[in-house]
Amino acid sequence: MLGAISDSGSVSARFVPGGNPERYYIGSGNHARYMLTASGPDTSGTEIFFEFITQSEQTANGAMVRLNDATLTGNSATKNINGDASFAIGRWVTGTVTLGSGKSVLLTGDFKRSYHYLAFNELPDLPSGDAPPLICDTGAFTTPTYLDNAPSNAPIHGMVTASATVSFNRYGGADIAGAIQVTAGSDAGTVPLSAFFNSPSGRQTAFHPDKSVVSYMLGDSETRGTMMIALSYIASVFPSRARYIGVARLSCRPTP
């Protein structure tokens, strides 16, 4: 029988949906968004990307337990808790998940089911074309979890790292280039990151030939002159054809 499972991780500050109102255009509305994606029996195919946050609830230790109509209740536990005033990330592993469709999923802590979430504030504007490039080599990640396509002995969990650069052109656009590296057991592979944004609130999803998928959005940060990249991914880069999912927040700062 499984023992008691508790939350793990911490935040440096509670997430503030909408961020600093003085940074946004008047009448531009709510600039807080979230993504939610799931793996495991009864959860596959549950993907909610980049929805505006209208309701949210965060526990004292920083776990988000409500994102609009998606809630985590009961004897619950959240792993990979991380965040500050500009974002919150984590992975629901025990408790009852209820979605707006009325569907409920019981997470028992066997780690075959997980819900990964990321809440963040939109980037209010793109830097000008003469802004220096940004390097994104630190971040916050949920532990990748097995989705499908592998033999029954495939590891349930993986490990992930990622890095990227953001450059700005004279027309006000932003180019992202980089890679996500995922390891699961003896398997390792890389998913490229490549996206172009001509709007700070743009959204993109890239479908790769190996069936990997990456969804992108730009986010605000607490520190002036920095930003974040919000990512949700399905990595299908292993010889076994196993697919793993997770979410990530990359922190981007000016190059030295």
Per-residue pLDDT band at 70 (split at 50, 70, 90): very high
Mean pLDDT rounded to a whole number for the chain: 87
Share of the chain above pLDDT 70, in %: 89
- The SS3 assignment for 22 reads helix
Mean pLDDT to the nearest integer, 59-71: 95
Per-residue pLDDT band at 41 (split at 50, 70, 90): low
Query: CB atoms < 10 A from the CB of 151, how many?
Result: 8
Predicted confidence (pLDDT) at residue 58 exceeds the cutoff of 90 = yes
Q: Read off the pTM.
A: 0.91
The pLDDT of residue 191: 95
Per-residue pLDDT band at 27 (split at 50, 70, 90): very low
The pLDDT of residue 43: 63
- In the chain, DSSP finds a helix count (H) and a strand count (E) of 0, 17
Residue spans per domain, the chain = 21-121, 134-254
Mean pLDDT to the nearest integer, 186-196: 93
Predicted confidence (pLDDT) at residue 89 exceeds the cutoff of 60 = yes
Query: CB atoms < 10 A from the CB of 105, how many?
Result: 18
The pLDDT of residue 26: 39
What is the spatial distance between Cα 83 and Cα 58, in angstroms, rounded to a whole number? 11
Predicted confidence (pLDDT) at residue 49 exceeds the cutoff of 50 = yes
Mean pLDDT to the nearest integer, 146-153: 77
Q: Which residues are bridge partners to 125 per DSSP?
A: none
Predicted confidence (pLDDT) at residue 22 exceeds the cutoff of 50 = no
**What would the pLDDT profile of 5-16 be if each residue is shown by its tens digit?**
889 999 999 999
Per-residue pLDDT band at 33 (split at 50, 70, 90): very high
What is the spatial distance between Cα 202 and Cα 24, in angstroms, rounded to a whole number? 15
Per-residue pLDDT band at 45 (split at 50, 70, 90): low
Structure tokens at 32: 């807080």
